[in-house]
């Protein structure tokens, strides 16, 4: 959708260019999440902004749809000193820029380009503060940029942004023992990792392997002992043959006695 004449006039009045260096229309400036709402049509409940103050925005939703900790390599490197990213999911229409949406820069990690190509990282072009991750349908915002307010009220607002799980925890650079679900990769599409330090997991794995080996040895020993008590298969065969031989001898003896008895009677 191309910008309307009214949008162009608004952009011009606010000092926004309507064409980029390639001569293409900057249509993104007239669509959510960058389109500036009229104050009467946007109910703001929270405000946030970058470090230098050039970029400021409002939110119409007090709580995100979801919030997660991401430990992927891209988030780790782009955030620098932060060991993971705390990202809160919002709809694109939930944000309204008060100022500075023309002072933004982008980075798309797949092609490593600074063009506005989704999904991408969005930051202040002046101080470098990461403003959000922009996806095709949603945006990810960061709690560190929000003005929470003081006291109990501020703590209550922050609590609504608590992350529900960790993603790409396999790539972590620090262990977080918070009892939250920890996915090796994407949530719901990878294995869950135990909420324990790596050395403890390795130790437990070794213990389980040793216990399994011990059980196998006990089974083998029990089987061997059972065979020894019964005399083993060879002994069983000999016993069987012996019983057969005994039966044969008894028959011979019985037959002999009977014959002997018959001869005696016949002689008589």
pLDDT of residue 68: 96
pLDDT of residue 40: 65
Q: Which of 158, 175, 195 is the last residue of a domain?
A: 195
- Do 40 and 125 belong to one domain? yes
Domain carrying residue 158? 32-195
Residue 147 counted as domain residue:
yes
| Per-position pLDDT tens, the chain of length 268 | 344 444 444 433 333 333 343 334 567 777 889 887 665 678 899 999 999 999 999 999 999 999 999 999 999 998 887 899 999 999 999 999 999 888 899 999 889 999 888 999 999 999 999 999 999 999 999 999 999 988 898 899 999 999 999 999 999 999 998 888 899 999 888 888 877 656 655 676 787 788 899 999 999 888 888 776 665 555 555 555 555 555 555 544 455 544 444 454 444 4
Give the integer Cα–Cα distance in Å for 133 and 238: 81
pLDDT of residue 101: 82
Give the integer Cα–Cα distance in Å for 143 and 127: 18
- Do 236 and 179 belong to one domain? no
Residues with Cβ within 8 Å of residue 75, at least 6 apart in sequence: 84, 85
pLDDT of residue 264: 46
Residue 167 counted as domain residue:
yes
- Which residue in this structure is represented by tokens 């063009």? 115
- Which residue in this structure is represented by tokens 């910008």? 3
Q: Contact at 8 Å (CB) between 121 and 130? A: yes
Q: Which of 173, 195, 217 is the last residue of a domain?
A: 195
pLDDT of residue 206: 80
Residue 18 counted as domain residue:
no
- What's the predicted TM-score (pTM) here? 0.62
- Do 121 and 244 belong to one domain? no
Residue 7 counted as domain residue:
no
Backbone angles phi, psi at 124, to 5 degrees: -70, 130
Based on its alpha-carbon atoms, the radius of gyration of the chain, rounded to whole angstroms, reads 40
For the chain, the domain total comes to 2
Q: Is residue 106 exposed (0-12), middle (13-18) or buried (19+ Cβ within 10 Å)?
A: middle
Distance of CA 263 to the CA centre of its chain: 97
Q: Contact at 8 Å (CB) between 198 and 175? A: yes
Q: Which among 81, 95, 105, 13 has a CA at the least distance from the CA of 49?
A: 95
**Does residue 146 sit in helix, strand or coil?**
strand
CB atoms within 10 A of CB 42: 15
Give the integer Cα–Cα distance in Å for 204 and 188: 25
């Amino acid at each position: 959708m191309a910008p309307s004449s009214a949008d162009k006039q608004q952009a011009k009045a606010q000092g926004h260019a309507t064409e980029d260096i390639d001569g293409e229309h900057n249509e993104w400036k007239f669509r959510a999440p960058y389109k500036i709402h009229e104050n009467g049509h946007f109910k703001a409940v929270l405000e946030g902004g970058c470090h230098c103050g050039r970029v400021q925005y409002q939110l119409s939703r007090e709580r995100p749809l979801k919030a997660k900790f991401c430990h992927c390599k891209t988030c780790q490197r782009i955030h620098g000193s932060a060991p993971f990213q705390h990202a809160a999911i919002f709809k694109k229409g939930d944000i309204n820029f008060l100022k500075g949406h023309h002072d933004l820069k982008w980075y798309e990690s797949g092609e490593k380009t600074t063009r506005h190509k989704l999904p991408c990282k969005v930051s202040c072009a002046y101080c470098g503060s990461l403003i959000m991750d922009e996806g095709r349908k949603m945006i990810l915002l960061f709690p560190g940029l929000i003005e929470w307010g003081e006291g109990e009220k501020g703590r209550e607002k922050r609590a609504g942004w608590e992350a529900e799980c960790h993603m790409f925890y396999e790539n972590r650079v620090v262990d977080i023992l918070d009892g939250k679900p920890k996915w090796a990769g994407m949530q719901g599409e990878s294995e869950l990792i135990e909420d324990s330090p790596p050395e403890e997991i390795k130790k437990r794995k070794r213990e389980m392997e040793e216990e399994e080996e011990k059980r196998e040895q006990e089974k083998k020993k029990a089987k061997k002992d059972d065979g020894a008590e019964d005399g083993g298969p060879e002994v069983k065969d000999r016993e069987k043959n012996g019983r057969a031989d005994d039966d044969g001898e008894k028959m011979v003896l019985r037959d002999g006695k009977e014959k002997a008895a018959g001869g005696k009677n016949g002689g008589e």
